[in-house]
Amino acid sequence: MHYIRLLRPAKLDGRKPIVSLLITITTDLGDSFLYPDEPVDLLVSADDPVGQSVLQKAAQHQPLRWTAGMRVLDIKVPLNARLKRDDVRCTIKIHPATQPLPLGALRSNDVLPWRISERSSVSQGLIMPVSVEMVGGVCSPVALRTLQLNTCSQPEDQLNLDLEEDIGESIARHIWDAGVVTASFLADACRTSDGIRAVLPMERGAFSVLELGSGVGILGVTLALIIQKAATVQGRTLNEATVLLTDLAEAEERARSNISRSDAVLSRSHTFSSTVTLEYENLDWDEGKLGRFGSLASARPWDLVILSDCTYNVDSLPALVGTLSALHTANLKYAEDQAFTKTSVILATKPRHSSEQALFGLLKADDWRYSVLKSIPLPRLGEDDEVVDIYLLEKGDGNT
């Protein structure tokens, strides 16, 4: 998958308001620029809070073009000349011209090969749109990614998830392919009761999920929304659910912002019979492997641990696997009264290098069992296809 990225915050210039956007289109790692066989047309929209375009008439529907060999694209967007600079309040969206509606959002269905037709433009590879908000003529210093999660066939069951990410370089403060694909897979799988049973070990009245290396929170936040839906689909009471995102301190600010953003969606889809609490706490695997957890991570047993795109750095694999095993040991403390004898993990990875296979040796050495839950091909425009592998890991005797 490729991502449209702002290289610096958008800027509003001049008396006649013109927005300057400097963008690039790269992979999640940022290691290669989009090099398409055919030029890719992009569209820019700028709508005020009631959905009216604030673009100058002549600038509306004017495509911009990204061609092979490009590294940046400098975009000037003229706004309606009658607007006073300080009054400009809008959301600017940059998206591929051919991408299906809604504008500025990536549909989770378009990520899953079994949901798209071969003739659809997205079957060749996706380009994730980007949005930026402008209030009082000042552009937000963060970019927004919108994922439209199709959790059911009814339009009212679609959830638009807005996630903030940094403008510029960072690992913890961006979304990554494995997170997007796994979030889409879980939303799709949990459309039915059977699907929920197949992927989520929701066997008690309470359900607790801990995410490792959550980054901006795409997977954990999605799962919180899915759990809320799942409780309704299953038609039985889920008294209490917790999703705890964890990462290094550098991820905290963005993760907390995204939790706040998702609280509005969670409360909209709130049923009187279930409550999902979404929280964040720092957890460095170098501490976790020693069984040193913060107050939230050590407050309860975890029915499920989730992680996506955390296994690309071979040097950190021992600490990561050590943390998983330490979480299992912590779970066993609850074994007597709550039958917590097995720990389940959903681990998603987009293999980038053969050295990452070391993960499986470390898992085996710590008595983790693993199986592939789903292997999802990820086509890329102008480059070799990739794949996201979603594994189920288990440790313990499984009497739960």
Ligand X SMILES: C[S@@+](CC[C@H](N)C(=O)[O-])C[C@H]1O[C@@H](n2cnc3c(N)ncnc32)[C@H](O)[C@@H]1O
Residues in the site for ligand X, rule: CB under 6 A? 171-172, 175-176, 178-179, 213-215, 218-219, 247-248, 251, 284-286, 308-310, 316, 319
Nearest approach, Cβ of 21 to ligand X (angstroms)? 24
C-beta closer to ligand X: residue 66 or 312: 312
Least distance from ligand X to the Cβ atom of residue 375, Å: 17
Closer CB to ligand X, 54 or 180, in the complex: 180
**Least CB distance to ligand X at residue 320 (A):** 7
The burial class, CB within 10 Å (0-12 / 13-18 / 19+), for 361 is exposed
Q: Which is nearer to ligand X, 129 or 213 (CB)?
A: 213
Least separation, in Å, of the C-beta of 346 and ligand X? 12
What span, in angstroms and rounded, lies between the C-alpha atoms of 348 and 338?
Answer: 28
Choice between 277 and 316, CB closer to ligand X: 316
Measured from the Cβ of residue 192, the count of other Cβ atoms closer than 10 Å reads: 14
Q: How far is the CB of 168 from ligand X (least distance, A)?
A: 15
Identify which of 167, 217, 237 has the alpha carbon closest to the alpha carbon of residue 9: 167
CB of 370 to ligand X, least distance (A): 18
**Closer residue to ligand X in complex, CB, 204/352:** 352
Residue 20: which of 46, 2, 39 has the closest Cα? Answer: 46
Question: Do the beta carbons of residue 183 and residue 222 sit within 8 Å?
Answer: yes
Q: Which is nearer to ligand X, 77 or 161 (CB)?
A: 161
What does the block give as tokens for 208?
A: 């607790």
How far apart, in whole angstroms, are the C-alpha atoms of residue 195 and residue 183? 14
DSSP of 27-96, one letter per residue? -TTS-SB---SS-EEEEEEEE-TTS-B-B-GGGTT--EEE-TT---EEEEEEBPTTS-GGG--EEEEEEE
User: String of b and e for 71-99 (b: at least 16 CB within 10 Å)?
Assistant: eebebebbbbeebeeeebebbbbbbbeeb
* Closer CB to ligand X, 220 or 396, in the complex: 220
Smallest distance, Å, CB 372 to ligand X? Answer: 18
CB of 220 to ligand X, least distance (A): 9
176 versus 340: smaller Cβ distance to ligand X: 176
Dihedral Cα 376, 258, 44, 33, nearest 10 deg: -50
